[in-house]
Each structure stands twice: as C-alpha cells, then as structure tokens.
C-alpha cells in the first residue's frame, strides 16, 4: 500500500487543505480497465503485476515503442493503492484504503500527477496533535510530545543516532556497509533496548517503526531499518507531514494515478483476473501461464513484492534463480489495517485539533484527518492498526473491531467521535495478492546473505516492485522508480 505512509511526528503546522472545485471522484474506485484473461498472447515484454511498478515499467516500454502486456491477478490496477468509495449519501467521494501520501523528494510522483492532469492538496495539519500515554490524553505542537521531557530528549538523541548510522549504508548495496554484519545480526528492538532506558521513549520509537513498516521492531533487521531510513532521506522526512513524506494527497484519491496510467496505456495492454502461476525461460524467450491463458514474450518483468514473487513456479531453476527465490521466501509483508470513521463534518477542527495522534494504547495508535477535499464531503478520521494489534484484529468479529476503533477515536477526540455515520476498513492481510502491507521487510541476516539477489535480472526475467527501489523504498515513489529502472534494463538488452 503504497505503499500507506504516515507521519508520527511533525515539526511545523500548515494551512488547511484547500478544496479543488469540480474534481469530484465520480468514477468507480476499483474500476477495471480491460478484459479477463483467456487464450494465448504474444508480446515483446510481459509484465506480471499491475501496481505502480508494473504500470510505470509498461508506460516506459510503450513510450520506447515496445509491445507490452500487463497481467494483473485482481480486477483492478493499483496494487497496494486502493480508493474506497464512501457509503451513501456520500458516494461521490473516496478515501484511500491503501498507499496515500506523497511529499518533497518524491519527484516522480509529482511529475506523474502533472503529466496525467491530476491535482494534489495538502494534508490537514492546522491545530494541535493528540498524545495518549500512560492512560492520559494531552495535546502538543511541534516535533515531540513534551509531557515527559526526559523521554522526548532520549527519543530525539536516538533519532539523531539512527540518522547518522543510516548515512553509512550504501543505497545500492546496503550489505556492503562497513558494519553490515554487525547491524544485520541485530533486531531494531535489541538496539532500542540497548540505547533507550525510559519506557515512554521506547514506546515512541516502537510507534515510529510501526508507522513506517507495520511490523514490530523485534521482527526487523537493524541494517534494513537503516537502509530504509537512508532511502527516504532520514527519519524526519519519513515521519513528517509538512515537508515530509505525508505532505500531500491526490484529489480523487491516490489510486487515480494508477487509473490514469492504465487509461493512457489502453485496454489492449491489460489482462485482468490473470494470476500468473508459472514462468518458463528458454533460449528464445519466456512463457507465462495461468488459468485459461498463456503469454509468450522476449522478456518478463515481475513487478511484485518478493513474497508474492515467491509463489511463482520458475523454470529452469538455475543457481541465480534459486538464490532469488530463497531471498523472496524470507521477506514477509507487514501486518496492517486501515480504518475510517465518517462524521457529518470534521468536528475536531473546531476543537483546534488536526486529527493526528500518537498513542501507546488502543487498537489504532496513529491517526489522520482524511477528510476528502471536495466541497460537501463528510469528515473522515483515518487510523492504522499495525503489527501485533493488526494480527489480533484478525480474530475479532467485525462488530468488536469497529467498537474498539470507535473507543480509540473517542478517547482521542471526545464524545463527538463516539457516533460515526459511517465506517470503512481495509484488511490487507485478507488481500490474497498483497498478503499484508505496506511493504516487505527484511528480518535479521537476510540482507547480508541474500540482498545482492534483489534487483539483478535472472536471465530474461527482470525484477521490480517498491522493495527493489533504492530511493523511497516502500513508497509509491519507490515503486515507480523500480519499474522505470526495470524498463531501462529491458531496453538495454
């Protein structure tokens, strides 16, 4: 989801998001753009995956005059980026059920927005943030909640240490860092335990990790976190709204970019409901097969997360392909839900709040004001359920899960939050062609042992996906860059 990124901390406030008149999201949020898969097809390059990396790759190859065919197992484009249409009477509006934000430094996303005739608007940041810690609610401005000055100071120093270490990790080959072996043996949690001593500061740093990767710190290699931080320019840009990765949203929802790219490519370049099951190489090309269809091409681009790619049957299984599969089996997805409560209006703004929360309790610990920018839209509070909380939520009934989300929002924003007029949720663990989100992550030992297999082609098969990016990995920006990199590999061969 896309890449689904969030800010935990913000250094500045910004003016309210301005509405872009006349740009209501009236088309279906999950519109398919082509026929279901059947029969045999021939093309120059076959793309497996219609998310942002696959679309960007197909777009670049088509612009260079190559024939491309995109296989998408779902009935829609966008991958981990998905608009959700609001229930009646607000069916002309959407919220983002997956990847959502873009920000400074994500140059390819802004270029796509401009090229495709779309419009951005700033995320709402006017007002104070809410902090819930140790059973108490407080509000704050600035970078860190200051109800515990010692904890704030300790977290600030820890962030500086992480940024300094991250700069020592090469973006194109993190496994070659001078301390790669030392850092890849550690989990992020073991580093937190060795370097932080105050409970509140440990909770804040855990929340930062959850907000980035939707994975518990004990499950992530320290080396991988340092690479991830460096790829986004540091913890502050990654975690910030104004001036950071969560600064802007797309009018009409972020999936509007994928839908526009698909329309530009044209329906003839897509097969939907086309789950690729096997990929076979030979001296003359590649053959991709799935239920009721097959595709013959000169080259293939697998534009999926490593975990999803590990489900493909590949032949022949030469040494490089085996190593790539071994790596893919070891890169799991994060655990994440995205939930929305709808209200007649964004009442929290009247109370001087910007809708953003940091919390050490409740089912959703990070929230945003996700009100659509168009005139007449209802107020929308969005929250993330991450890590252990996301896994526990899988075993709840829908009614219990909804009650717990409303309980959290009521604690953060008061009694007015207790009676939403609508509720939406997106469970990415139940999405069979994502398996979780927002991105794959590397547990200890995997980067140093298998990282060198992540990007290089294996014969006529090229590998894309946001996990293979070196800049803004895990984000829509990283997905687009990875697809364009794979397209250049194909063209040079």
- Residue 358 CA to residue 144 CA, distance in Å, equals 10
Per-residue pLDDT of the chain (493 residues; tens, 9 = 90+): 433 333 333 322 222 222 222 223 333 345 555 567 889 999 999 999 999 999 999 999 999 999 999 999 999 999 999 999 999 999 999 999 999 999 999 999 999 999 999 999 999 999 999 999 999 999 998 777 877 889 999 999 999 999 999 999 999 999 999 999 999 999 999 999 999 999 999 999 999 999 999 999 999 999 999 999 999 999 999 999 999 999 999 999 999 999 999 999 999 999 999 999 999 999 999 999 999 999 999 999 999 999 999 999 999 999 999 999 999 999 999 999 999 999 999 999 999 999 999 999 999 999 999 999 999 999 999 999 999 999 999 999 999 999 999 999 999 999 999 999 999 999 999 999 999 999 999 999 999 999 999 999 999 999 999 999 999 999 999 999 999 999 999 999 8
Asked, as a colleague might, if the bond just before 438 is cis with ω within 30 of 0, I would say: yes
C-alpha count within 13 angstroms, C-beta hemisphere, residue 69? 25
Contact 384, 96 (CB under 8 A): no
- Pairing verdict, β 83-85 and 336-343: unpaired
Q: Both tokens of residue 265?
A: 């490519």
Per-residue DSSP letter, 333: B
- Please report the pLDDT score of residue 33 as a whole number: 54
Closest to 45 in 3D by CA, of 400, 287, 297: 297
Name residue, tokens 């099951």. 277
Residue 136 region by backbone torsions, left for phi larger than 0, else alpha for psi between -120 and 50, else beta: beta
- Please report the pLDDT score of residue 5 as a whole number: 37
- Residue 288 CA to residue 278 CA, distance in Å, equals 6
- Please report the pLDDT score of residue 148 as a whole number: 84
427 membership: H or E segment, kind and range: strand 422-427
Closest to 387 in 3D by CA, of 422, 336, 345, 423: 336
Asked, as a colleague might, if the bond just before 180 is cis with ω within 30 of 0, I would say: no
- Residue 389 CA to residue 361 CA, distance in Å, equals 10
162 membership: H or E segment, kind and range: helix 149-166
- Please report the pLDDT score of residue 23 as a whole number: 29
How would you write 348-406 as a 3-class SS string? Answer: HHHCCEEEEEEECCCCCCEEEECCCCCCCCCEEEEEEEEHHHHHHHCCCCHHHHHHHHH
- Put simply, whether the predicted model's pTM sits higher than 0.85 gets the answer yes
Neighbours of 423 (CB within 10 A): 15
Contact 360, 134 (CB under 8 A): yes
Which residues, at least 6 apart from 488, have a Cβ–Cβ distance to it below 8 Å? 60
């Amino acid at each position: 989801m896309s890449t689904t990124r969030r800010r935990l901390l913000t250094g500045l406030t910004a003016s309210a998001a301005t509405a872009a008149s006349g740009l209501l999201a009236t088309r279906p949020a999950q519109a398919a753009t082509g026929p279901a898969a059947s029969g045999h097809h021939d093309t120059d390059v076959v793309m497996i995956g219609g998310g942002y990396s696959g679309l960007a790759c197909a777009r670049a190859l088509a612009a260079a005059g190559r024939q491309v065919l995109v296989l998408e197992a779902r009935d829609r484009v966008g991958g981990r980026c998905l608009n959700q249409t609001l229930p009646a009477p607000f069916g002309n509006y959407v919220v983002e059920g997956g990847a959502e934000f873009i920000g400074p430094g994500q140059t390819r996303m802004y270029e796509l927005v401009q090229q495709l005739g779309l419009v951005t608007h700033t995320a709402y940041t006017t007002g104070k943030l809410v902090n819930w810690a140790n059973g108490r609610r407080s509000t704050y401005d600035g970078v860190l909640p200051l109800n515990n000055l010692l904890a704030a100071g300790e977290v600030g120093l820890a962030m500086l240490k992480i940024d300094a270490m991250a700069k020592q990790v090469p973006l194109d080959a993190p496994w070659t860092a001078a301390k790669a072996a030392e850092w890849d043996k550690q989990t992020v949690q073991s580093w937190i335990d060795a370097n932080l001593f105050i409970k509140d500061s440990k909770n804040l740093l855990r929340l930062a990790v959850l907000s980035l990767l939707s994975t518990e710190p004990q499950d992530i290699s320290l080396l991988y976190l340092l690479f991830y931080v460096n790829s986004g320019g540091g913890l502050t840009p990654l975690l910030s709204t104004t001036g950071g990765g969560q600064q802007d949203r797309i009018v009409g929802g972020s999936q509007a970019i994928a839908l526009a790219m698909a329309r530009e490519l044209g329906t003839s370049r897509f097969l939907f409901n086309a789950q690729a099951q096997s990929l076979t190489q030979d001296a003359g090309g590649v053959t991709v097969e799935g239920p009721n269809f097959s595709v013959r091409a000169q080259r293939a681009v697998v534009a999926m997360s490593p975990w999803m790619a590990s489900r493909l049957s590949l032949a022949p299984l030469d040494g490089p392909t085996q190593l790539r599969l071994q790596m893919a089996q070891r890169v799991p997805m994060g655990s994440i839900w995205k939930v929305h409560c709808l209200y007649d209006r964004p009442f929290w703004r009247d109370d001087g709040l910007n809708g953003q929360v940091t919390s050490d309790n409740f089912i959703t610990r990070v929230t945003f004001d996700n009100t659509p920018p168009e005139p007449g839209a209802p107020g929308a509070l969005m929250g993330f359920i991450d890590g252990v909380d996301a896994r526990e939520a899988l075993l709840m009934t829908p009614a219990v899960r909804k009650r717990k989300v409303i309980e959290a929002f009521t604690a953060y924003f008061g009694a007015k939050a207790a009676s939403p007029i609508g509720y939406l949720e997106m469970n990415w663990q139940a999405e069979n062609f994502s398996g979780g989100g927002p991105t794959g992550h590397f547990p200890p030992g995997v980067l140093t042992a298998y990282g060198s297999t992540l990007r290089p082609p294996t014969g006529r098969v090229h590998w894309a996906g946001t996990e293979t990016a070196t800049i803004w990995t895990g984000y829509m920006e990283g997905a687009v860059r990875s697809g364009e990199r794979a397209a250049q590999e194909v063209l040079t061969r």
